[in-house]
Structure 1
């Protein structure tokens, strides 16, 4: 297709988790439904139906707050295995039209359909076919944006939600962007938006009218990026097989926890679970980060980068345990661990100077032992195999 002709699709499922639950519980149609944790356990909302959103309820809101806004709220527990299965169906539909599919999460993806015209028609035809296929095969409703670039396509998918279908051609980009607030630009958070407002820039049109050098001088490299997006310029390509950058888990406690032994025990469980998932996905990571949130919502993080990437739980825990010692004492309402700088296990590893081995002998033994434990877990369940240290009352030392 010629330059500027829309070939990029952004497909976004509407209120995905809540919509899956409503599909499976048709008697709840028309009622305000949310997926999330219980208020008694300091839960948060993961997804809200559009009926719930009319009361001001939204994702990441505390469940207690959501229920105060909407006393008739129907709260359902999350079922991520089910959501993942539906997501696989949807991604399969995408790949039946083009190999250029870049998943962003379980419920959204970019597609590039350039070169698919002979098989499936132009982008608009493909977009409507995908929308119909998703509805017929999964019973779900998607919103689709079609544009010449990823930024504008993502913007388009959000303009007429739910059940939206918006096409923005190159000659309409300026018309669509100009009246929108600068906060719609990817990369403009609250802080940047306030700095722009102080300069008299509140709409995208006002940002686009500024000289590029002026915005670059004021905001550095970020300035060049947001100025380009204000003009609809986005050189990013749709990248299939987009690799996960980090993986982790965290827990909000029903009651604040101060006991360091209990916190270490929880950290061990987190690291063990995260490591198992990394191994299943063929990944290993180098950077370990822990997050601690106090009773007053003050949040601190501590990170450390390993000399070699790993997917061994004990190695991750050893680092996380040391990081916990750098966190000030106090009652915590949340604790979490994340492993970043992920890479494929098939990627070549840099040898150490003077020919030192990539794995220490104890790591080689641990890797072999871990493979045996993983085989048992896959056969009998994750809870079947646990180290004795994780079951001690005084926490993991």
Structure 2
């Protein structure tokens, strides 16, 4: 373990990013209480709210129906993930013109590694980053900047003075700045973790910081507990690189699509998008999973396994088999649908079939070739078709409510081709 003596990390965390992005892109929304929703539905929840909405007590996760009851004139904007990704790439360019980015943590968070010569001027660098974003992008899109000896402490510093804050947690000041925080103020300690800690008698930061690394590992049930201990005590924490495990998409269905036929039509769209991402990343799959959920998140689950496959017709045939099973098991209604391709195999590792000249093998190769051709044409012409694929397998379907494309996950930023 290494314990830095200076401010080695600079963390940039944007404030209410999706909502601020929409106010940046649509000036008429500035200064107004508004929120971003994933799809046009009264039952969906807000994924981001503006500062003006927060001041009125509106929180992320509130449903459209409940917010409309409280504020009839509240403005709802459908998420435009492709625009947020474009804005993110501009932000990255601006930040890197001042200080190199060590890692992109999410669509609205990056961490930078400071050289020894830069650490004494860390706060000044933070101000330069904030000023550059305001000047080159616009004042609506604000960020909070934190500095610390490691990623975790720099992130905590960034969140300490939101919005539009600038703060540092210096190694020599530990644990002082942490003692006034709630446990749930620490990234990685959600309400579930806090409840488990409370059952073990840990209800405040002072008690948490007195624990030993092995105790933290036991309470977390994994090595993440020890990593948390190291981060909070000012040590560097290096995480192993994660490996891709699946490609998937999910969607809450519009009210009049919540039957098996509607779920199947939506699942086809989602599966083709997932398989396209998988091919571009250089993988094939040996399994497809399907979830159909009802209002209580129960429902139906099925999976189909096969030899390494990456062409759309074969994967869509697998999906059709799964829906036949769901129909036979009397699954009639579904509130949401999710598909996932998993048990991945890199394309370079797939061995040539010794019986590759059979009619079945040759048909499969033709389908693989056609899938790649379709990907190339859709990538080239996608923007002119407003998101609709030029080539697709089966009937062309547009899911009501808006947005069935790639979505921004916490730790995954889609490529431009995903849209």
Q: TM-score, normalised by structure 2?
A: 0.77
RMSD: 3.6
Is structure 2 residue 42 aligned with structure 1 residue 36? no
Distance 1:45 1:385, change over 3 A: same
Distance in 2 between residues matched to 1:183 and 1:134, nearest whole Å: 29
Distance in 2 between residues matched to 1:54 and 1:243, nearest whole Å: 41
CA shift digits 1:306-325 (9 cap, x unpaired): 664x5433344445455553
Q: What is the DSSP-based 3-state SS (H/G/I as helix, E as strand, rest coil) of the residue aligned with 1:158?
A: helix
Is structure 2 residue 176 aligned with structure 1 residue 205? no
What's the offset of the Cα at 1:49? 0.3
Distance in 1 between residues matched to 2:345 and 2:128, nearest whole Å: 35
Determine if contact 2:101/2:113 at 8 Å carries over to the other structure. yes
What's the offset of the Cα at 1:90? 0.6
Distance in 2 between residues matched to 1:343 and 1:176, nearest whole Å: 46
Look up the match of 1:20. Answer: 21
What's the offset of the Cα at 1:145? 1.2
Determine if contact 2:145/2:165 at 8 Å carries over to the other structure. yes
Distance 1:301 1:166, change over 3 A: farther
Is structure 2 residue 253 aligned with structure 1 residue 253? yes
Determine if contact 1:20/1:83 at 8 Å carries over to the other structure. yes
Look up the match of 2:273. Answer: 273
Unaligned runs of 5+ in 1: 392-397
Distance in 2 between residues matched to 1:112 and 1:238, nearest whole Å: 18
Distance in 1 between residues matched to 2:29 and 2:258, nearest whole Å: 41
Look up the match of 1:371. Answer: 372
| Worse overlay, 250-259 or 364-373 | 250-259
Distance in 2 between residues matched to 1:300 and 1:226, nearest whole Å: 37
Distance in 2 between residues matched to 1:218 and 1:379, nearest whole Å: 51
Look up the match of 1:11. Answer: 12
Look up the match of 2:394. Answer: 388
Distance in 2 between residues matched to 1:29 and 1:273, nearest whole Å: 34
Look up the match of 2:153. Answer: 152
Distance in 2 between residues matched to 1:232 and 1:343, nearest whole Å: 39
Distance in 2 between residues matched to 1:51 and 1:180, nearest whole Å: 25
Distance 1:105 1:257, change over 3 A: same
Q: TM-score, normalised by structure 1?
A: 0.81
Distance in 2 between residues matched to 1:224 and 1:168, nearest whole Å: 20
Bigger relative CO (Cα 8 Å, ≥ 6 apart): 2
Distance 1:60 1:336, change over 3 A: farther
| Worse overlay, 326-335 or 77-86 | 326-335
Look up the match of 2:166. Answer: 165
Determine if contact 2:216/2:229 at 8 Å carries over to the other structure. yes
Work out the number of aligned pairs and report it: 382
Is structure 2 residue 66 aligned with structure 1 residue 65? yes
Look up the match of 1:395. Answer: none
Distance in 2 between residues matched to 1:127 and 1:283, nearest whole Å: 40
Look up the match of 1:190. Answer: 191
Look up the match of 1:263. Answer: 263
Look up the match of 2:133. Answer: 134
CA shift digits 1:247-279 (9 cap, x unpaired): 433222221655434422321111112222444
What's the offset of the Cα at 1:147? 0.8
Distance in 2 between residues matched to 1:314 and 1:329, nearest whole Å: 24
Distance in 1 between residues matched to 2:187 and 2:260, nearest whole Å: 40
What's the offset of the Cα at 1:331? 1.8
Q: What is the DSSP-based 3-state SS (H/G/I as helix, E as strand, rest coil) of the residue aligned with 2:176?
A: helix
Determine if contact 1:95/1:101 at 8 Å carries over to the other structure. no
Determine if contact 1:188/1:226 at 8 Å carries over to the other structure. no
Distance in 2 between residues matched to 1:306 and 1:144, nearest whole Å: 48
Look up the match of 1:235. Answer: 237
Distance 1:299 1:156, change over 3 A: farther
